[in-house]
Structure 1
Amino acid sequence: MAIWWAGSVMVIGCTRWTWKRCTYIGSDCSETWPNATMEEFEPIPRICHVILAVYDPDPDRPKYSPPNHYRLNRNDAVKRVTYEETEGHSPPYIIYIDHEYREIVLAIPGLNLVRKSHYKILLDNKLGNGGFRLNPDYLIKRVTYEQTQGNAPPYIIYVDHDHSEIVLAIRGLNLAKESDYKLLLNNRIGMQMFDGGYVHHGLLKSAIWLLNEESETLKRIWEENGRSYKMVFAGHSLGSGVASLLTVIVVNHRDRLGGIPRNLVRCYAVAPARCMSLNLAVKYADVIYSVVLQDDFLPRTATPLEDIFKSIFCLPCLLFLVCLRDTFIPEGRKLRDPRRLYAPGRMYHIVERKFCRCGRYPPEVRTAIPVEGRFEHIVLSCNATSDHAIIWIERESEKALQRLKEDSTETITSAPKVQKFERLHTIEKEHKDALERAVSLNIPHAASLGEEAESPGQNSVDQSQDVGDEETNAQKTSTRNSDARTNWNELVQRLFERNESGRLLLKSQVPETL
């Protein structure tokens, strides 16, 4: 009888756990967060467009359609002609009657690279004008994998004169590039300490290399535009980690970019990677903004990035095992682990699906600077990987922005300038409260806003935390004084060496056993 009762209790317990896990949805992570305002969310779709441009080899002919593309009414399509029907004489086309605008439209798509008969004829007309709202004339620099030599993912530098921004956008992981895997594998739990916390070693080295390569270019552009433009670092997935750590370095070494004020530095981490410890994630929430779409798996799992992408082809299995493991780890233990990495900064969560509902709903955006429950639960969802795609994040963020604009016009109760000032005050208060909350929870190395202001690391002296040699860093990090400082040039000498042509190259890679 006792065995029967014990078995029954176990079955009930397992059933309850399974039910809670299977009914946990992405929107539960932010159900208590307030909604974002139109003014603070407005840059995010635009930044997504710029990040998407990194994926396009030719900005004049982008391969993605505009986010607010026109939607046809199927009932008004008079005729649709396929490749088989044209017999290679023309691309497929449709004839469409637009009753709303009193137009008869004949629409023809661009080049299909699979169709050999059309390849040469349509080579210069891959797509029509449109695509991103990105002016090719403002594209200052495009850097490819060959030019970075594996030190960083590809990136672009773009000057948005319409919004007074200088944007450095970094692409995400490319599964076909070995250099991206090497960057991810160059890490180990507790290996790299920086600025009083822990960070991903490989991403930090990539960020340092990127700053050394482009600091003079960014400084020149900023000074040529009146020293008033915002400096925006943006990235997706792998690139978000590099952009976030690059922002941390720039904020502490603003003289590298001509003494740019902290309030002119911004980072947008789209589908963010866990790249820094909790104290740093909260500390830099005033300059780093992370954007998460519903069930995205990457910000939610503390499993090292290298393990995630080594298991990318069996990701559902990995997510289930991580979900099972994290269930039995107390929340307090997670918070007290200084080596545990988190998604950085203020979080913007785009929610578009509901429990036991089919289809997508008009997206809403929630925002907060969470200390506890910072996307700590894996969501067992068929959308966990698709929500990580930059194209979906860009589309849903555009929809969310349009909805915010509509709501703001309907609920205006005070002058726009007054509303903006009040929101800025609220954002500052939320950051201060988050810092104090981190201190009250005894988060390792956490400091309140007042303590940060008094820290010697915030002065104008060009200083940085000692990251040490690669071979000894992993062994000495646990005992190194978090206040140890070193000169920037010494930091660069420790991590890089110059070849015969004078280019900076990473020193020997971490052994494969890491």
Structure 2
Amino acid sequence: MGHTDYDCSFWNLESEEHSKKKILEWASMSIVCCIPILEGVYCLACARWVWKKCLYTAGHESENWGLASFEEFMPVPHHCRLILALYEDDLRNPIWAPPRGYGINPDWVLLRKDYEETQCRVPPYMIYLDHDNADIVLVVRGLNLAKEADYAVLLDNKLGQAKFDGGYVHNGLLKAAQWLFDAECEFLRGLVEKNPNYTLTFTGHSLGAGVVTLLVLVLVQNLDKFGNIDRKKIRCFAMAPARCMSLNLAVRYADIINSIVLQVAMISYLGQPRPWTIFSNHFSGKRYLPCLLCLMCLKDTCTFENVLKDPRRLYAPGRLYHIVERKLFRLGRFPPVVRTAVPVDGRFEHIVISCNATSDHAIIWIERESQIALDLMLEKDRIMEIPANQRMERQESLVREHSVEYKAALERAVALDIPLSYSPPNYGTFHDMEEGETSDRSSEQITFLSSKKWRDSWDGFVGRLFDVNESGQMVFKKSASGSSQNSCCK
């Protein structure tokens, strides 16, 4: 019996080991069989991502934005030509003038400095006293591909390196802006004191656009050095700007900073270091391309709000004007359309694959397409035959619309828990708002005021036409009914 029991126990152990081996074999076979399936799913996911990227156009970025009006977009082509004028050695005998010329008076150029005078701290710039438009303009040109100093300014930045006004900014551009502020503060203050009714405008392209946007931030923090100039008299037009400030600053300063982006301007779409730049510093070869595609697929599936809540991430500054001139599966350029908004969760976050990314960044193309877009707006206005008084009323309504949109963007930023997204003083860039309507009110208050005005005007209208009789019913006034009959007879 003992021998039999021993044989049975031995048989049981042998069967258990055999079953374990079988299970391991089945598991390994199933894993091996699933590898091709997983590879197929992975390849399909990568192919789908590449296909979506190829189909994604710049028009998707601004498809839900409103159309810009002639009044707000009118200064853009003029400022583009001011930037182009900086590339001329002699403005009295220009060589590279656009078809319409630069439209400037060389005698009004008060100051002009090149790389030697700026010590390569900032790109060349000039100060232009525009008497035709009652404007004091500081113009900074873009990146010079032959100057290492410009690359040094652009690449001098690390994630979260430079803090400013409760947010983060580009470190190299901030240094350049502070140097420019210290160099020209006295000169600009003298011009502002001599011309108190003139606006103070900063404009630049590419690297220069990033410098002037941060220069505006420095100026707003030091208004006492400019005789406490009104914030509404300060403007900034940044052509294809670098991503230079955190989201809370980009939204808060949207009342005075305007960024103009043509279709797929390269530098406005490139933000923080991407995964391929990190890999390129340590590895080489094409064998890491699948890993990069996998990382990008995972990145695209992450929650977008988590990206927005990163206070160190840099964005294109201020209010955005997007010039769209190309459509999917259509060759050539079409009549440009300008869309504008103060977006919070749609500031050119997607990388767009396009062979025109470099040309769209060029200031000469921005000037050309912005002028065509402005001519189309003007032609539309002429067809509508809008009188001067109605044009002024539209200007005032435009200020109110921008103020409401600006407040909505700030509220959206607060709802996303973006730090320090509070409301600054009155909305700038345009003329003053009506007395008693300040932009520090919330959008709900503005809506309440507009509805209250409408109700008061309606009550007055009803009171002029109707009376209440003895039975409590409303009847036409005799004078009102007579006047309406006379008007009908006429």
TM-score under structure 2 length normalisation: 0.73
Q: CA–CA distance in 2 between the matches of 1:379 and 1:47?
A: 27
Deviation at 1:276, TM superposition (A): 0.5
* Local SS of the residue matching 1:39: helix
Residue 124 of structure 1 corresponds to none
Please show how residues 286-365 of structure 1 align to structure 2 within 5 Å: 286-303=255-272, 326-327=299-300, 329-365=302-338
Deviation at 1:178, TM superposition (A): 2.0
Paired AA for residue 18 in structure 1: V
Residue 255 of structure 1 corresponds to 224
Asked if the contact 1:352–1:363 (Cα under 8 Å) also holds between the matched residues in 2, the reply is yes
1:407 matched to 2:380: yes
Distance 1:423 1:322, change over 3 A: farther
Residue 393 of structure 2 corresponds to 418
Q: CA–CA distance in 2 between the matches of 1:138 and 1:49?
A: 15
Asked if the contact 2:46–2:294 (Cα under 8 Å) also holds between the matched residues in 1, the reply is no
Deviation at 1:346, TM superposition (A): 0.0
Paired AA for residue 298 in structure 1: I
Deviation at 1:450, TM superposition (A): 8.4
Asked if the contact 2:174–2:211 (Cα under 8 Å) also holds between the matched residues in 1, the reply is yes
* Local SS of the residue matching 2:339: strand
Paired AA for residue 21 in structure 1: K
1:42 matched to 2:74: yes
Asked if the contact 2:258–2:321 (Cα under 8 Å) also holds between the matched residues in 1, the reply is yes
* Deviation sequence 1:415-456 (CA, Å, 0-9, x none): 11111111110011111111111000111222245899xxxx
Distance 1:348 1:325, change over 3 A: farther
Residue 442 of structure 1 corresponds to 417
Asked if the contact 2:86–2:125 (Cα under 8 Å) also holds between the matched residues in 1, the reply is yes
1:51 matched to 2:51: no
Please show how residues 146-161 of structure 1 align to structure 2 within 5 Å: 146-161=116-131
Asked if the contact 2:159–2:272 (Cα under 8 Å) also holds between the matched residues in 1, the reply is no
1:65 matched to 2:97: yes
Q: CA–CA distance in 2 between the matches of 1:147 and 1:258?
A: 27
Deviation at 1:7, TM superposition (A): 3.6
Paired AA for residue 215 in structure 1: C
Query: Over aligned residues, Cα RMSD in angstroms?
Result: 2.5
* Deviation sequence 1:99-130 (CA, Å, 0-9, x none): xxxxxxxxxxxxxxxxxxxxxxxxxxxxxxxx
1:133 matched to 2:118: no
Distance 1:168 1:393, change over 3 A: same
Q: CA–CA distance in 1 between the matches of 2:160 and 2:36?
A: 45
Residue 488 of structure 1 corresponds to none
Asked if the contact 1:439–1:448 (Cα under 8 Å) also holds between the matched residues in 2, the reply is no
Distance 1:185 1:59, change over 3 A: same
Among residues 239, 255, 259, which one is paired with 2:208 in the alignment? Answer: 239
Q: CA–CA distance in 1 between the matches of 2:294 and 2:262?
A: 22
Paired AA for residue 172 in structure 2: G
* Deviation sequence 1:396-415 (CA, Å, 0-9, x none): 11111001111122235671
* Local SS of the residue matching 1:30: coil
Asked if the contact 1:337–1:444 (Cα under 8 Å) also holds between the matched residues in 2, the reply is no
Among residues 190, 199, 210, which one is paired with 1:220 in the alignment? Answer: 190
Among residues 177, 187, 201, which one is paired with 2:171 in the alignment? Answer: 201
Residue 359 of structure 2 corresponds to 386
Deviation at 1:325, TM superposition (A): 7.8
Among residues 13, 18, 21, which one is paired with 2:50 in the alignment? Answer: 18
Q: CA–CA distance in 2 between the matches of 1:66 and 1:321?
A: 46
Paired AA for residue 446 in structure 1: S
Asked if the contact 2:272–2:314 (Cα under 8 Å) also holds between the matched residues in 1, the reply is no
Q: CA–CA distance in 2 between the matches of 1:337 and 1:410?
A: 47
Deviation at 1:151, TM superposition (A): 1.6
Gaps of 5+ in 1: 69-130, 312-316, 453-514
1:281 matched to 2:250: yes
* Deviation sequence 1:347-379 (CA, Å, 0-9, x none): 000000110101110001000000001110111
- Of 260-269 and 216-225, more deviation after overlay is shown by 216-225
Asked if the contact 1:159–1:165 (Cα under 8 Å) also holds between the matched residues in 2, the reply is yes
Aligned length: 380
Deviation at 1:10, TM superposition (A): 2.6
Paired AA for residue 348 in structure 1: Y
Q: CA–CA distance in 1 between the matches of 2:214 and 2:162?
A: 12
- Of 353-362 and 437-446, more deviation after overlay is shown by 437-446
Q: CA–CA distance in 2 between the matches of 1:17 and 1:349?
A: 25
Among residues 166, 190, 198, which one is paired with 2:136 in the alignment? Answer: 166
Q: CA–CA distance in 2 between the matches of 1:304 and 1:421?
A: 42
Deviation at 1:201, TM superposition (A): 1.2
Paired AA for residue 249 in structure 1: V
Deviation at 1:304, TM superposition (A): 5.1
Distance 1:386 1:197, change over 3 A: same
Q: CA–CA distance in 1 between the matches of 2:119 and 2:295?
A: 34
Q: CA–CA distance in 2 between the matches of 1:346 and 1:3?
A: 49
Deviation at 1:63, TM superposition (A): 2.5
Asked if the contact 1:158–1:168 (Cα under 8 Å) also holds between the matched residues in 2, the reply is yes
Q: CA–CA distance in 2 between the matches of 1:367 and 1:182?
A: 32
Paired AA for residue 179 in structure 1: A
Deviation at 1:330, TM superposition (A): 3.3
Q: CA–CA distance in 2 between the matches of 1:345 and 1:40?
A: 14
Distance 1:234 1:361, change over 3 A: same
* Local SS of the residue matching 1:427: helix
Q: CA–CA distance in 1 between the matches of 2:53 and 2:39?
A: 21
* Local SS of the residue matching 1:379: coil
Deviation at 1:263, TM superposition (A): 0.4
Please show how residues 86-97 of structure 1 align to structure 2 within 5 Å: none
Q: CA–CA distance in 2 between the matches of 1:263 and 1:450?
A: 9
* Local SS of the residue matching 1:188: coil
Structure showing greater radius of gyration is: 2
* Local SS of the residue matching 1:172: coil
Please show how residues 99-138 of structure 1 align to structure 2 within 5 Å: 131-138=101-108
Asked if the contact 1:267–1:288 (Cα under 8 Å) also holds between the matched residues in 2, the reply is yes
Q: CA–CA distance in 2 between the matches of 1:168 and 1:221?
A: 12
* Local SS of the residue matching 2:357: coil
Gaps of 5+ in 2: 1-32, 281-285, 287-291, 428-490
Distance 1:320 1:387, change over 3 A: farther
Paired AA for residue 59 in structure 1: L
Deviation at 1:321, TM superposition (A): 11
Deviation at 1:212, TM superposition (A): 1.1
Asked if the contact 2:46–2:297 (Cα under 8 Å) also holds between the matched residues in 1, the reply is no
Asked if the contact 1:219–1:256 (Cα under 8 Å) also holds between the matched residues in 2, the reply is yes
